[in-house]
Structure 1
Amino acid sequence: MPRPQPFRPSPLAAALALVFVSCSSAAQAADGEQTLNTVTVSGGNTPLAVSASPNASQAQVTAAQIAQMNVVSTEDTLRYVPGLNVRQRYTGDRNAVISARTSVGSTPSASSLVYADGLLLANLLGNSYSYPPRWNMIAASEIESMDVLYGPFSALLPGNSAGATVFITTRRPEATELHVDALRTQQKFALYGTDSTYNTHQEQMSGAFRVGNLRVSLMANHLNAYGQPMSYATGAASTGSGSTAVSGFSRDAGTLNEGRWVWGGYGIDHSIQNTAKIRLDYDFSARTRASLTYAEFRNDSDSSAESYLRNADGSTYWGTVAGQRISTGTNQYVTVKAADFGHSMSATTNRLWGLGLNTQPSDELRIELVSSHYSTPQDTSRAATNGMLQGDSGAGTITYGDGTGWQNADLRAIWRGLTGHTLTGGYHVDQYSYSSLKYDTSAWRSDTTTRLSTQAEGKTRTDALYLQDAWKLAPAWTFTSGLRHEYWQTFEGYYYDRSLSSASKRFDDRDGHYTSPKATLAWQAHPDWLLKASLARAYRMPTVTELYATATSATGQKYIADADLKPEKILAAELAAEGAVGGGLLRVSLFQENKQDYILSQRNSITGITALSNVDKTRVQGAEVAWSGNDVGLRGLDLQGSITYAESEVVKDAARPEYEGRPLAIPRWRLAGFASYRASDAWSASLGARYSSRYTDLNPAFANYDLYGASSGFWVADARLSYRFAPKASASIGMNNIGAEKYYAYHPYPQRTLFAQVKWDY
C-alpha cells in the first residue's frame, strides 16, 4: 500500500467547500439587503453537532451555574454533570481526564471528546492519564454554556463519543468587556508520613472589544500550583537482617492485602502554567461569520519527593544508589534505593490554531467549517537517575516529544429544504503525529545527551463522510437515521529500544474501511413528555501511542504497545424519557453498550508489565435519572441532581479466560447534586455533593480499594458563599471536600481545600 501523503483535506472536501461558498455568494446576492436582516448567524453560537444531535441524553452547564462553583480550571465546571467524573488529583493537575457512565477506569481519555467553539481540545494521541483534554486553552470566565451529549448516536461524531462529548461555547462580545479574577487555594493534606499544606494562586484576565464588524477576544492566565505526593515508595518486607539506624516507616495492607511498608512520597508537583489566547470574529454579513483563534499554553514543572526516613541524628535519609537493607523489625528488612525518591522536571509549549466559518446562504441552508492545528514545539522531560539524593547534577534521562500533535477539519451543512426532512452531512479529516526520543545524559538538568535509549513514533489518519436525516414522520414522531463511513490509516510506525534489540522494528502500514449506521426514534407523547429510542454502531480507532509507544516509566514499569490492535467495535442503545416534573425537567434513561475488541491496558502484578490487547467482548448496561429545576419552592433556589447505575462484565476473553464474568472498572453507583441560592442581588450561596462507588479490578485477588494504589469510592461535599460588594466587584470563599475524605484514583485525590476569590467585571 502506498504511504499516505502529509495531512491535507481530500479533493472532495475542496469541491464541497467551493460549492458551498458559491451557493453562499449566490444566495446573498439574490436575497439582497432586506433578507440579510431576517436571519443572523452571529447571534447563534450553538454548533451544528449540538443542534443536529439526536442524542436522548444531554446535559448543560450555564455561565450562571459556573459562577456559583469553586472553579480554578475549566474541567471543574463538569463536577456535577450526571454520570461524569473528572479525575483531577490536585489544583493545577494537567492530567484531568473525563470518565463517563460507560467508560472503563478513571483515565479513558480516548472514550470522550471535548470541543471549544468547534475546536478539538480532546487529546486523541493516546488513551490514558497522559493524554487529557487541553483544558488550559479555555478560561472559565469565557464560557457561555457547556453542552454534554452521551453516547455515539450522532453521525457527525466519531466513535470516541461513546462516553460523552462536551461542547464548550464561549461568549461573543457585543461591546467592550473586561474580567479580572484573583484566586487562592489552600489544601491541608495528611497521608502516611506527609502532613503538609499546599498553596496555589491564580490570576486571570479576559476581555473583549468590538470595532465595526470585528470582535476581538483576549485571555491571559497565570497559575502557580503545588500538589501533594502522587505516588509512594512502598514494598513488602523480606526475611533477614538490615541496618537499624533508620526510622520513620509507615505501614498498611496493600491492594492485594499484602503487608507493605511506606517510606516516602514522590510526584510532588510544583508547576507554573501560563496561557495566552486571542480570538478574532468577523461578520462579513448578517449571514456569514469567520473566526480565527490562536492560543498558547506553557507549563514548567518540578516534580520532587520527600523521604519519611530519618537517620539517628535526625537528618533525612535518601537511600543509596545500589539500595540499602533497612530493618523494619526483628529479622525483617526492606531495600531502600535512591531512585525511590524520584526527581524530574518538564517544560512544554502547546499551540492551538483554529479557523471557523459559519454561513447561512438561505433560511434552509447553514454551513459550518472548522479546522484546527495543535502542536507541541517544545516538550522536554528530565529525570534524575538517583532521585533527590543527587541534587541538581548527575546522570539521568531526557525525553523529547517535540513535534507531537494533531490536525483536523470538519466541513458540514444542514439543509431544511425538503419538506419533513432535515439533512445534515459533511466531511471530516484528522491526522495525529507522535514522536518520543529518550536519551541518557550525564547531566540531567542540561541539554547534553550521551546516547539514544528508546525511540517511538508513528501517525494515524481518518477520513470520514457522514449523512444524517431527521424525518418528521408525523406531528409527534421524528425518525433520525445516519450513516458514517471512515477510512482509517496508520503509518510510519517505528520503535527502538537499545536494551532490547529484538523489540526494535519499523511497523507495516495498515488501513481499513468502517461504516457506522445510527437510528433514533422520537415521540412527543405529550406536550410535556418526549420519548426516544436510539441504536448506533461506532468504531473507536486505536490511538497512535496505543499502537507504537512502548515505554518504561521512571520507576521501571514497562508499558507495551501493540501495532496490531484492532479498532473497538461498539454497539450502543438507549431508551429515554424526558418531561416536566415538580417544576423542573426530569430525564430517565436506560442504556447499554456492547464492545467487541475492547482495547484493554492491564498491568501484571507479578511482572510489573502493562500490556495492551483486544478483549473479545464486553458489556455495560445501566440506568440514569437526572432532574433540574429553577426557583424550586423559593425564588432564587436552583436544584439539580442525578443518580447513575451501571453493571458491566467481560463477556469473552480468549486470551485471559479467568477475566470472563468479571466486572469492568466502572462504578456501580454515581450520584451528584448541586444547589445554588441567590438570596439577593448581593448574596448567593451553593452546596454540591458527589458520590461514587469504587472502580473494581479484573484481578480476582484484588482485596482493598480504599487506599493508595486502588480506585476507591468516595462521598464528598463542596460549598461556596459569594458577596457582591460593589456593582462590578465580588468576593467568594469556598471549600471542597468539606469532610476531608481520603479517596483515590490510584493516586490520592485532594483533601479539604479552601478557596478565596475576588472578581471584577466591567
Structure 2
Amino acid sequence: MRLLKPLCFFISISQLSLSAYATDNGDNKSEIEEINVIADRLFADTTRLSPSSTITAEDLKAISLLTAEDSIAYEPNLVVRRRYVGDPNGVLGIRGSGMFQTARSLVFADGLPLHYLLQTRWSGSPRWSLLGPDEIANATVIYGPYSAEYSGNAMGGVVDIKTRTPQERRFIVQGHLLSQDYNELATNDHFNGNKIYMAYEDKIDDLSLSASYNRLRNNSQPMSQYFTNASEAEALDDLGVTGYIRGKDKYGDDVIYIGDSGAEESTTELYKLKLNYQLGNMQLRGTIAYEDRLREEQDKNNYLVDASGNTYWGLGNRNFEQRTQERNSLLLGFGVSAEIWGNWFYDIYATNFEIIKDKERRSGLNPDDPNFGSRNGRLTQFGDTGWNTLDIKLGTDSLFNRDDMRLSIGLLKDRYQLAINGFNINANDGSVVSTRSPSQGETSTTAAFAQWGWQSTESLDFALGLRYEQWKTLDGLYNNIQAPKRDENTWSPKFSAGYTLNERWSVRYSAAQAYRFPIVEELYRNEAAATAVLIADASLEPEQGIHHNISLINEFDSGKLQINVFWEKIKDSIYNQRGTINDGGNNISVSTFLAIDEVNTSGAEFIYEQGNFLIEKLSLRFNLNYTDAEITKNSANTSIEGNDLPRIPSWRSNVMLSYPVNDALSVHSSFRYASNSHGNLDNSDRGGEVFGAIDDYFFVNTKVSWRMSEALSLSAGVDNLFNDTAYVAHPWPSRSYYLEGRYQF
C-alpha cells in the first residue's frame, strides 16, 4: 500500500509523456556553450575505459537544483545522503562503497578537488558548498578505478563537474523560497529557508570571468530523536512525569522517545571568482572560493513534563545541550594548459584548501535545565587543516604520429593535514577549564601514472595503464603519543578492451587493481565525549581492490541504452565499526576503525535515456541498479561473515521526465527509489521507519517551469509529493515546497 499512490502517479505521468531534451529552443545557448579545454583532452580515455553517466544543464532543469549535490542525485547506482537542503554532511556512496566509506569516492569541479580525504563517515562529505549549483554545465559520474588517472580513492567512483565558461556579458539574480512540512513524534511544524544567487559574467577579448555570491539559509527538520529503555517509563510514571512516546528502536525493541534535536539552522555564504585567459597557445585558469558557514542547534525539544507542568530534565539531559559551529574555508586553484610539439598537450594544475576557522561549541546541558552550568561544555577547534595538490599531465592522441595510438602520463603530489584540538569549557562564560587529547597527523602521496591506448582495428580497442604511488605519514599523534612514521609503495595495473559490434552496439571489459590508503582520521582521531567515543588505528593497512566491469552499450539517434555488470573483491576493507552503550539513561556511541578481511561485491546497472520517448518531445532518463555487497571473511569476528555490508541497498532506481507544454511552459517529474539496508555489521538492525533505521524509500518530485520572457523565468516544485516517511538513520525530508525566480540581463 505504501507504494500504491506513487506507482499510480508514475503510470499516469508516463501516459502524459512528460519530456524534452531541449526546452529553450536555443534561447539559452550561451548558458551551455562550451569551449575547447585542453585539460579535458589529456585523459579522454578515463570515460572511454570506465562506465560513466553524464547529466547536462538541460537535464538538470527537471529537478529543483538547490545545492551542488542535487546535480547527481538521480545518476545510476549512487546515493548522496543529504538530510536537508544545506546539510554539511552530504556523504556520497557509489556502487559497493557505502555512504560512510567516503574516502572511496572523488569529487572534482573544474579540476578542483571537493572531496574531503581527511575525515570519514558524516564528517567526510565532499565540500559541496564550495560550488554554486547555478554554475554547473554538466556532471559526469565515472564508476570504479579503471583509469590510471585516479588513485584507489576511486574504488567507488569519481564525480567530475564542469561549470559554465562565460561567452558574453550578463548579470544573473536568482532566488529560492523553500518550506517543509514535518510531523513526527511530538513535533508538528513548518521549517523554512531561502537562497539567493547573484553573478556577473563576462567575456572581454581573451578573458572569461565570473564573480558570484551564493547564500543559502535553511531550517531543517529535527535531525535526531532521543529515546531510552522502555523500562524507564515506570519510574517516570511514579514521578508524575508525562509526555514520553512509546515506540520501537531500530532493533525492534521497546523504547520511549523523550525528545528531539529541533531545527538545525544552517547558513552558508559562498564568494567565488573564476578566470579563464587565452594567452597565445596557452590556457590559464584560476578559481578562488571562500565559504562562510554557521550551523546552530538551539531549539531542542524535551517532551517530558512533570506534574506541575514544567519541563522535566532528569532523564537524558545531556542530549539537550545546544550546539553552534562556525566554519570558514578557502579553496584556491590555478592551472595552465598548452599544445606543444604538434599533437602533444600538457596541463599543470595546483590547488590549495585551508580551513581558516572551524569551531564547534556544545553547552553541556540545556540553558533551561536548572542544573545548567554544573556540567562543562565542550569546544572542538581545528588547527592547521587542509590540503594542497600538484597535478602534471602530458599526453597525445597520435603517438609516434599514429592516429591509432594515444598516450597520457602524469605526476601527482598531494599532502593532507588534520589537527583537531578539544577543550572542556565553562558552560556559563566559555572559558577553558581543561584540554582533551588532541588528534593530528599528515599523509602525503607521490604518484606517477601512464595510460596507453591502441585502436588495433576499426572495431577493436585496447588500453593499458599503470599507477605507482608512494604514501607517507608523519606527525601522527595517537592518544598524546607520537605515532611512528610510515612509508609504503604500491603498483596498480589497469586493462581494458573494447569491441564495436556494429554502428550502434559496442562492448567493453575493464579490469583494475587499486589501493586505498588510510586517511588521517582513520589513523589518528581519538576522542572521548559525553555521548560518543572514537578510537583510531595508526597501524591500518591500505585497502586492496580487484575490480572488473563489462559494459554493453547501444547508442541511437535520440539516446542510449547501457548495461553494466561489475564485480570486485576488496581486502582489508576499512570500516567504522560502532556500538552503543547506555550510561545513566544516555546512549553513548563507541566506534573504532577496523579492517574487514574481505568484502565481495557484484551488481548490474541498466541505464536508458531517450528523447521523443513514446511521443514527440518526451524525454526520459531511467536507471535500475542491483548491488550485492557481502562480507566474506572477517577473522576478528567470524559471526558477521555472510552479512551484507551496511548502508548499501540491494536495489536503486531513478527516473527523470520532462514535457514542454509550449515554448514558455514545461512540466517535470522525477522519482527516486532505494530498498532498505542495514546500518550495523551484524545486520541486527531490522526495524523500519524509526530513528537509526536505513529504510527503503520512494520519493516522487514534481516541478513546473515558466519562461515569462528571455530575461525572466519562474518555477515551482514539490519534493516527496506523497510525504513518504523514511529514515537514513536520521529522517529524510518530508514533503517540501520550492519557489524559484530568475532574472538575467
TM-score, structure 1 as length reference: 0.88
Q: Which residue of 1 aligns with 2:30?
A: none
Of residues 230, 238, 251 in structure 1, which corresponds to 2:231? 238
- 1:536 paired with 2:512, answer yes
From 298, 306, 320, the equivalent of 2:301 is: 306
CA distance in 2, matches of 1:391, 1:637: 62
Equivalent residue number for residue 631 of structure 1: 612
Q: Which residue of structure 2 lines up, in the alignment, with residue 156 of structure 1? A: 149
What's the counterpart of residue 691 of structure 1? 673
Change (3 A) 1:203 1:45: farther
Secondary structure in 2 matching 1:430: strand
- TM-superposed CA distance for 1:417, in Å, is 3.0
Q: Give 1:515's aligned residue.
A: 491
Change (3 A) 1:392 1:59: farther
CA shift digits 1:695-727 (9 cap, x unpaired): 224224332133211111111110000111122
Task: Render the CA deviation track for 1:596-632: whole Å, top value 9, x for unaligned.
Answer: 0000111124584211111111100011100101222
Mapped to 2, the partners of 1:705 and 1:614 lie a distance apart of 28
What's the offset of the Cα at 1:246?
2.1
Cα 1:201–1:657 shift into 2, 3 Å = same
Change (3 A) 1:41 1:254: closer
Shift of 1:391: 9.7
Confirm or deny: 8 A CA contact 2:62 2:670 kept in the other structure. no
- Does the alignment pair 1:136 with 2:129? yes
Deviations, residues 63-88 of structure 1 (Å, cap 9, x unaligned): 11122211110101112101111101
Other structure's SS at 1:473 match: coil
- 1:54 and 1:520 in contact (8 A); partners too: no
Q: Name the stretch that deviates more: 119-128 or 392-401.
A: 392-401
Matches within 5 A, 1:254-269: 254-266=249-261, 268-269=263-264
SS in 2 for 1:389: coil
For 2:110 and 2:644, how far apart are their aligned partners in 1? 37
Q: Is the 8 A contact 1:141 1:206 kept in 2?
A: no
Cα distance in 1 for partners of 2:428, 2:489 equals 45
CA contact (8 A) 2:478 2:538 kept: no
CA contact under 8 A between 2:39 and 2:347: conserved in structure 1?
Answer: no
Distance 2:206 2:699 in 1: 47
Residue 649 of structure 1: which of 625, 630, 637 is its match?
A: 630
Do the aligned partners of residues 179 and 62 (structure 1) sit closer, same or farther apart at CA in structure 2, a change above 3 Å counting?
same
Tell me the alpha carbon deviations over residues 292-312 of structure 1, each in whole angstroms, 9 at most, x when there is no partner: 111100111111311112233
1:350 aligns with 2:329: yes
Q: Pick closer, same or farther for the CA change 1:43–1:505 going to 2, 3 Å.
A: closer
Matches within 5 A, 1:675-714: 675-696=657-678, 697-714=680-697
My pick for the range that moved more, 168-177 or 243-252, is: 243-252
Alignment counterpart, residue 60 of structure 2, candidates 45, 51, 66: 66
Distance 2:90 2:316 in 1: 31
Q: Which residue does 1:407 correspond to in 2?
A: 388
Question: Does 1:376 find its partner at 2:340?
Answer: no
Instruction: Give yes or no for contact 2:38–2:337 (8 Å, CA) kept in 1.
Output: no
Match of 2:78 among 76, 84, 90: 84
3-state secondary structure, aligned to 1:80 = coil
Distance in 2 between residues matched to 1:124 and 1:241, nearest whole Å: 47
Contact 1:689 1:718 in 2 (8 A): yes
Which of 702, 711, 721 pairs up with 1:728?
711
Q: Number of matched residues?
A: 696
Equivalent position of 1:341 in the other structure: 320
1:472 to 440, 455, 464: 455
Q: How far did 1:393 drift? A: 7.9
- Aligned residue runs from structure 1 range 234-633, under 5 A: 234-238=227-231, 241-242=235-236, 243-266=238-261, 268-285=263-280, 287-304=281-298, 305-317=300-312, 319=313, 324=314, 336-389=315-368, 394=373, 395-415=376-396, 416-418=398-400, 419=402, 420-443=404-427, 446=430, 448-496=431-479, 504-553=480-529, 555-580=530-555, 583-606=558-581, 608-633=589-614
Give SS of 1:738's match: coil
Give yes or no for the alignment of 1:737 onto 2:723: no
Change beyond 3 A, Cα 1:511–1:402: same
**Could you say which residue in structure 2 is the equivalent of 1:499?**
none
* Structure 2: distance between partners of 1:626 and 1:445: 57
Query: Percent same amino acid at aligned positions?
Result: 27
- Cα 1:268–1:281 change in 2 (3 A) is same
1: CA distance, partners of 2:526 / 2:52? 37
Offset of 1:636 from its aligned partner?
A: 2.7
Gaps (5+ residues) in structure 1?
A: 1-39, 325-335, 497-503
Q: Is 1:757 paired with 2:714?
A: no
**1:342 CA displacement:** 2.5
Q: Deviations over 1:142-172 (max 9, x none)?
A: 1111111000000000111111211111111
- Provide the alpha-carbon RMSD of the alignment: 1.9
Pairwise CA distance, 1:444: 6.2
In the alignment, structure 1 residue 188 sits paired with structure 2 residue 172: no
Q: Alignment partner of 1:408: what SS?
A: strand
8 Å contact 1:46–1:169 — kept in the other structure? no
Deviation at 1:268, TM superposition (A): 3.0
Letter in 1 for 2:469: E
8 Å CA contact 2:644, 2:683 repeated in 1: no
Q: What does the per-residue CA deviation read over 1:34-74, in whole Å, with 9 as the maximum and x for residues that have no partner?
A: xxxxxx97556736445544434110111111222111101
1:24 corresponding residue in structure 2? none
* Partner SS for 1:545: helix
Q: 1:153 to 1:493 in 2, by over 3 A?
A: same
CA separation of 1:148 and 1:241: change in aligned 2, threshold 3 A: closer
Q: Which amino acid in structure 2 is aligned with residue 404 of structure 1? A: T
Give the counterpart letter for 2:696 in structure 1: G
Kindly provide the CA deviation profile for residues 644-687 of structure 1, in whole angstroms up to 9, marking residues without a partner as x.
Answer: 01112111100010011111122110011110112222001110
- Write the distance in 1 (CA, Å) between the matches of 2:347 and 2:612: 37
Aligned mates of 1:342, 1:47 — CA distance in 2: 53
Partner in structure 2 of residue 719 of structure 1: 702
| Matching residue's letter, 1:207 | Y
Is 1:661 the counterpart of 2:661? The answer is no
- Which is further off, 169-178 or 153-162? 169-178
Question: Could you tell which deviates more after superposition, 635-644 or 354-363?
Answer: 354-363
Query: Given the superposition, is the C-alpha separation of residues 615 and 185 from structure 1 closer, same or farther in structure 2, using an over 3 Å criterion?
Result: same
- Runs of 4+ in structure 1 off by over 6 angstroms are none
Q: Aligned partners of 1:749, 1:574: CA distance in 2, in Å?
A: 32
- Provide the rounded CA distance (Å) in 2 between the counterparts of 1:582 and 1:213: 35
Q: CA 1:399–1:391 in structure 2 vs 1: closer, same or farther (change >3 Å)? A: farther
User: Which residue identity lines up with residue 520 of structure 1 in the other structure?
Assistant: S
Deviation of 1:130 (Å): 0.6
TM-score by length of 2: 0.90
Structure with bigger RCO (C-alpha 8 Å, 6+ apart): 2
Secondary structure in structure 1 of the residue aligned to 2:239: coil
CA distance 1:71–1:41, change in 2 (3 Å): closer
Report the secondary structure of 1:202's partner residue: strand
Report the alpha carbon displacement of residue 267 of structure 1 after superposing the two structures with TM: 6.1
Mapped contact 1:142–1:206 kept (Cα < 8 A): no
SS at match of 2:399: coil
- Superposed displacement of residue 591, structure 1: 0.2
CA contact (8 A) 1:573 1:593 kept: yes
Cα shift at 1:190:
1.3
Unmatched segments (≥5 aa) in structure 2: 1-33, 583-588
